[in-house]
Amino acid sequence: MKSTGIGRTLDEAIAELPAAQRRAIDKRASELIVEEASLRELRKALGLTQVEVARALNKGQHEISRIEQRGDMLLSTLTSFVAAMGGELELICRFKKRAPVRVIPRHVKKASTRGASEERGKGRRPET
């Protein structure tokens, strides 16, 4: 028996909506999930494995696992990780009485203009 009124669940209410509206809700829900994703969730959403990201960074898979579990990391590490997944990191500072400001730390900016292989190759064994 179908519930009505106040006893309806969210799933029941959504099921009664037109198909186009249900698709729009699903799309927005997916966008919101990605907006708040961890590095691991983001990597998976992009269809990448830890091994693929590790190869792009010239690191071992175990290092990618450790990076994904960190609660705190250097901006340069996060920038490299995001770049290995095909993205670009933006750091936006928001204040109560000022427009948002995009911050580009010097060390991150320099790293992005140099060859990624230069940065990755320091002190590491060559890829096979």
Note the pLDDT of residue 18: 93
SS3 assignment, position 3:
coil
* CATH class as words, domain 39-121: mainly alpha
Note the pLDDT of residue 106: 65
Note the pLDDT of residue 107: 58
Q: Which has more pLDDT, 24 or 2? A: 24
The tens digit of pLDDT for each residue in 32-53 reads 666 667 899 889 888 999 999 9
The tens digit of pLDDT for each residue in 81-122 reads 999 999 988 889 999 999 999 988 665 443 333 333 334 444
The stretches of the chain forming alpha helices (DSSP H) are 10-15, 19-35, 39-45, 50-57, 61-69, 75-84, 106-113, 116-121
Confidence (pTM): 0.56
Note the pLDDT of residue 80: 92
Where residue 31 falls among pLDDT bands split at 50, 70, 90?
A: confident
Q: 79: Cβ–Cβ under 8 A, 6 or more apart, which residues?
A: 89, 108, 111, 112
Question: Looking at residues 62-75, what average pLDDT do you find?
Answer: 92
Neighbour-count burial for 72-94, b at 16+ CB within 10 Å, e otherwise: eeeebebbbbbbbbeeeeeeeee
Cβ(120)–Cβ(57) under 8 Å? yes
61-69 helix and 75-84 helix, angle to the nearest 10 degrees: 120
Q: What is the C-alpha to C-alpha distance for residues 29 and 6, in angstroms, rounded to an integer?
A: 23
